[in-house]
Chain A
Amino acid sequence: MIRLERRSESSRAMTYLSPILALVLTLLAGIALFSAMGVSPSAALYTFFVEPVTTVYGLTELGVKATPLILIGVALSIGFRCNVWNIGAEGQLTLGAIFGSAVALYFYEVEGFWLLPLMLVAGIIGGMAWAAIPALLRTRFNSSEILTSLMLTYVATLLLSYLVHGPFRDPDGYNFPESRIFHDSAILPIIFDGSRLHLGFALALLVVVAGWILISRSLIGFQLRVMGNAPAAGNYAGFSQKAMIWLSLMLGGGAAGLAGVIEVSGPIGQLLPQISPGYGFTAIIVAFVGRLHPVGVLFAGLLMALSYLGGENAQINLNLPLAVTGVFQGMLLFLLLACDVLIHYRIRFGKRSAIS
């Protein structure tokens, strides 16, 4: 018989060991998965997790893919700490991309150093505006932000589809549902020659630092932690739950919006019907794997970015379906949540002893 025995206090070591354990288990599950699919596991794992980062270009691509994941992951982990479940980051990302693109297209062929900052701000505002809806509905009408933010993701995707088929469509684009390709001054500068690694990655690193300061070194971060761990104590201390909800969703929306505008003005360079392979959802996994801590999110974001690169690489070289990436990501989160039991409990085998 296996049974769980509560630890007298949660294990700090296990908090950090659990993601590593989960990763090892995911790789083992991956070996089983690849064997079942009739692919040599060693070759598949190499193609998936090693080969993409054996070149300098591969490493820069890792940064490109990790940028939105880190940006959103840092912000989401702040909300998750006080149990605000913004799972609509994908929609907020979409709105950020739409707002940023609107600025880029409005000032098409206008030169100016001010254009990019204006686009980034527009993107942040777009994401925040979209996240303000669930925030308002939660604080004013007590509606679950889980459901509202997710519903809004579908609405955002349809809105994007409408815009690229209609008002934002390239007038010279033979009716393809795409916007004009952005003018040079609306494209993020490349920070590493010969690659696609853009200024957005540097912004993501800045956000990691800012998030770390907010959580560990500010009163707001303290309030967030108290409201998450002991809401009653927080209320008694006079911390406002509504303020925490608004703060969490505004940070999440702003970061997701920023990620969205960075995607369209960075690697994509125009507005398309699909601008993200689900970064907003993967960022949820990133937040958990990163232990809801900005520095952890940085590493988790790079890991998840690797799973995207690996998926693409495996598709090209081994003819494996791209969906394998999603399975890996889902398995990792599942196994992580399972391993997290070790933080609070010990696993004991055999019958309960007389004295416990």
Chain B
Amino acid sequence: MICWECFNYTYFETDVETLKELKTGKDGMIIQDSMFDDYNYSQGMLRDNLTDVVQYCINQNADVLDHNLENRYLNCARCGSKKVTKPYSTWTSRRHLPIEQEILKNHQEFKELRKERFNADQLPVLWKSK
């Protein structure tokens, strides 16, 4: 990801949801991370949600931008700008053939694949029981 205001490509901010545990007792209320056995569920959830948001922004790219071309989830941690996108687009008019041409080009390979599946139970016998 890159910020189009300051060209920072390292530090970003996002809002994620985590879980806290409330323990009530005679001494009052204690707020702490939620533990299941020795697994810290609060920290695990925070990391998972952060990874999810970042991967979603990387995969969706243009879909996470609003009409002002501002990212709805991430913002730059240096300048605070929300103009954060992927630094490049994977789409190019020269990289891919039209799908019809691509199918024709790979037709022989597809036929072999289907043939392989059709003859899957007729493989040559390598040994015979006496």
- Do A and B pair up? The answer is no
Q: Which residues of B contact A (CB under 8 A)?
A: none
Q: Which residues of A contact B (CB under 8 A)?
A: none
